[in-house]
Structures are given as C-alpha cells and as structure tokens.
Chains A and B, each alone.
Chain A
Amino acid sequence: MEFTQIKFERSGGFANIRITAELNLRDLSDEQAIALKELLDELDFPKLPTKLTSGETVPDEFIYTITVETEKWQHTIIADGVPKDAKIQELLELLNRLARKKMRNL
C-alpha cells in the first residue's frame, strides 16, 4: 500500500504522556517502509472499521489514533490498548516504536 503519510497518536495510559508523530516515507528505512506497507495490505487498512475498541473501558489503557494517507484516500482508526487482532497489535507496536524513536531524536 503506497502511503504518503501516517499520522499516529497515543494518548491515555497512567502517565498520559502523549506520543504523536507524522511519519513520511523519508523518515523510514527501506526495511521499515516495506514492513509497514505489507502490514497495511494484510489488514486491508481502508476497510477497517473506524472504532476498534473492546467495548469495556479499561482504566489507564492507551488509546491510539492512526490515519493513513495515500494519493487516493485517507482513513482513520481508533483502537484501544487491547485489540483482539494480532495484526492490529503488530501495527500499533511498530508505529509506537517508530513514533517513540522520532520523538526522542527531535
């Protein structure tokens, strides 16, 4: 999936330290870009429901908002820290790692 930009936000959690990042292709190594594109394809990202929350609120769990932009469309999902799907979990963790790294290398 040829994205132009991915916007990532993690809020909530006990410490409520907000992590945000706008990830462009130039921010990523080839390896990271390929991994991300594959994940987005496998998830069929534009078809994912907007809300991927588990229904019951877990105090101090994280809340994630992810927007993927391509030349043709953009799509946003909101997920909590306990998604049932392993691929979603993988996407959240990968984006969180990238955003965390970007945040520390200001």
Chain B
Amino acid sequence: MCPCFHPVECVIPEHMLESIATHGTSAQRQAALNNIRVVYQLRAEQAMRASFKGLFDSAIPRAINNEKERVIYDAMRRDTLPGTVARREGDAPSSDPAVNEAYDGGGTTYDLFMKEFGRNSIDNRAMRLDASVHYRTGYDNAFWDGTQMVYGDGDEDLPTDERLFNRFTIAVDIIGHELTHGVTQFEAKLVYSQQSGALNEHMSDVFGSLVKQYQLQQSASEADWIIGGGLLTGNVNGVGVRSMKTPGAAYDDPVLGKDPQPAHMRAYVNTVSDNGGVHINSGIPNHAFYLTALEIGGYAWKKAGQIWYTALRDKLSESSNFQQCADLTHQTAGELFGVGSLEQQAVQHGWAAVGLTVSESGGKPKPSGCLEATLRFIGAA
C-alpha cells in the first residue's frame, strides 16, 4: 500500500498490473482493476479514520438524555459553520420558516429511524442533530458535511422571475436525505463514487422519501415518490429533482434541461461528472425500491424500508455495487420474512424490472481467484 493519504494520487504498481494481466478473463481483469481503485481509496480513509477514531468519537456531540436533541443554527448568509443558535430542542417555534422546517424535518427523520427501525439518531448513539440554515447567498444546495446538515436558500439573490429554486428546507425528504448520508457514513460507508456512490445517493433518496410518506401517513400507492417536491419555483417545468416512480421524468425545462436519471441498467450513464453519476444512476436502484414497495403494498417503511435499512446497516459495505445491493436486499428479505416469501419475491421482481437478476445463493459474490489474489497482495483480504 502506498504510504500517502491522497487517494487521487495513488497509482497501481506496474508489477501488480502485470500479474493481473496474466490471470483470468478480461472481465475479471476489469473487475480487479475497478476494485483496486476503490480499495486504495478505502485503505487510505480507513488508516486516517483509525488514527483519529478516539478523537472523532469523543468529539461527536450527543444528546444528554440519550433522546432526540436538535440544534438549529442560522449561518446568516455566510460560509462559516455552524453559525448562531436559532432554535434548540423544546424551544417554541421561530419566526423563521427555514429554522422551523429544519427543526421539524429533523424531528420526523429521527422519529422514523427510532420508532420504525429502532435506531437512535445518526450514529445509533443519540448523536445530536445539528443543522444550519441560510448558508451563504445564492446557495442552491443542501449537504451533509460529516458532522451536520447544511441548507442554502436557493437562488434568492436573483430577481423573482429568474429564480429556479426555493429554500432547501422546503421539502422534508431533502432533510431525510441529508440525515441519511450521516447514517450511511456510520454504517455501510459507501464510497461516494460510481456505483457505490449511486447506492449512497439511493439510500438517501429511499429514506428521504420514506420520511415524507411517514409524515403524511401515506401508503406506497398513495405516495408521489418525488424527491424535492416544492423545491423548484413556478418558473421551472418540473415537479421535483428526481422521481423514484418515473426516473427521468421529474423535470424537463428550457433552462434546467431534462432529468437525466435512467430507470434501467440498459440506460446506465457513464460519466465523469457528479462523482461518476452518483445522482444520475441512483435512478436504477430507486426504481427497484419503488417497485418492491408497491408490490408489497401498505406503508413502504414497514417492510421494504425495513429490508433496505437492515441491508444498509448489516450487509452493504464500502465498495458494494448494484448487483451486490440486489443480492443482499434479497438475502435480507429472506432472513426477515422467509425464503420464498411474498416480500422476498417482491424484492426479486423489483430488481428484475430494472435489469438486475438476483443470484440464487443470495449472498455476497465470492471474489474471483484473480481478484482475491490481488486483494491479498495489497493486504485487503
């Protein structure tokens, strides 16, 4: 393993490439190469995490009473985080709607994870839910920075008739989406690039949408499955930024362009933009989840959500790809509801409809001989 902590600078030693090149099929060689890239990045991150673990863990702010605790800050349109405290747990509502949306949305997300999945906050150890609103000016984004949620106000700095976005706290599924990035950071740790990155995005969309459905008490067939509903202004021809029900159909607008999400493996988008299309190809697993939940019926968080949450917590790992996600959610459904159960069949049908056939063993595919040898060579297996 190379000694530095800069994944982008890592290079695969030539002798290792040669050794791969003399083994296996070309598909195996390609798989090995792809995996080496991910493994290199992981090992650098793991080494860094391990060396700071004690520090990080004690630095995480946690609720004093081991329950829900939210702190909403106002960044006052500056880029310094977190900003000034605007509302603490138990405080009366603020006069600022963004503060209240961040507070309420964080609360609903906490409740869904706690009451339905038995998870106590982001780290399952009562991590305090910190969020900052009014981040920068003209900031048309929301993100999870590793420790807190951050929300911009859209393009509020432009004249009304040119604005495309409203404030990013306006949709509760955006809040659920960002919080779930935190959950993923503590569980599967899906690397934010290519297929594992699209799965990271997928999980955030799944639980984001479930937070909205939970808040509205909607069944799978009643829900709109739109991500970011209400985020786009009336100047845009669109209902949101993504659709799990109909990926690719959320918006089609002269200024924004067309929703680029595929709904099937045959339309998978290869791109260097967006960390390898993490917000684009997530349309494929998103649609598989939607179909699964619809086939099972009822409230989507009760069964489909339970299957996906368990897979995220116990089965998926840093470099998981779409096929592995299909296999592992199928395996999880078998464990939770029985092999051959209607729930497990629904998972199989969901993935099949987007072009992924779950493997019968339902387990994690064993690395091929060449890949295994290569991983052993660099000390990853």
Contact = CB atoms under 8 A, between A and B. Distances in A.
Interface of A: 9, 11-18, 51, 53, 55-63, 65, 81, 97, 100, 103-104, 106
A56 B46 CA distance: 11
B257 A14 contact: no
6 closest cross-chain pairs (CB), A and B: A16-B279, A11-B273, A60-B143, A57-B192, A59-B181, A11-B274
18 contacts: A14-B142, A14-B178, A14-B228, A15-B141, A15-B228, A17-B140, A51-B8, A57-B191, A57-B193, A57-B275, A58-B145, A58-B146, A59-B192, A60-B143, A60-B181, A81-B143, A103-B255, A106-B254
A17 B275 contact: no
Contacts of A58: 143-146
Nearest to A53: B8
Residue from A62, A97, A104 whose CB has the most chain B CB atoms within 10 Å: A104
A60 B273 contact: no
Nearest to A96: B138
B125 interface: no
Contacts of B155: 100
Given A14-B168, A59-B201, 7 more contacts: A12-B273, A12-B279, A13-B140, A13-B279, A16-B280, A63-B273, A65-B273
A60 B178 contact: yes
Nearest to B204: A59
Interface string B175-210: 001100100100000011100010011001000000
B298 interface: no
A14 B143 contact: yes
Contacts of B181: 59-60
Interface in B234-271: 241, 254-257, 260
Given A53-B8, A104-B255, A13 B141 contact: yes
B59 to A, nearest CB: 15
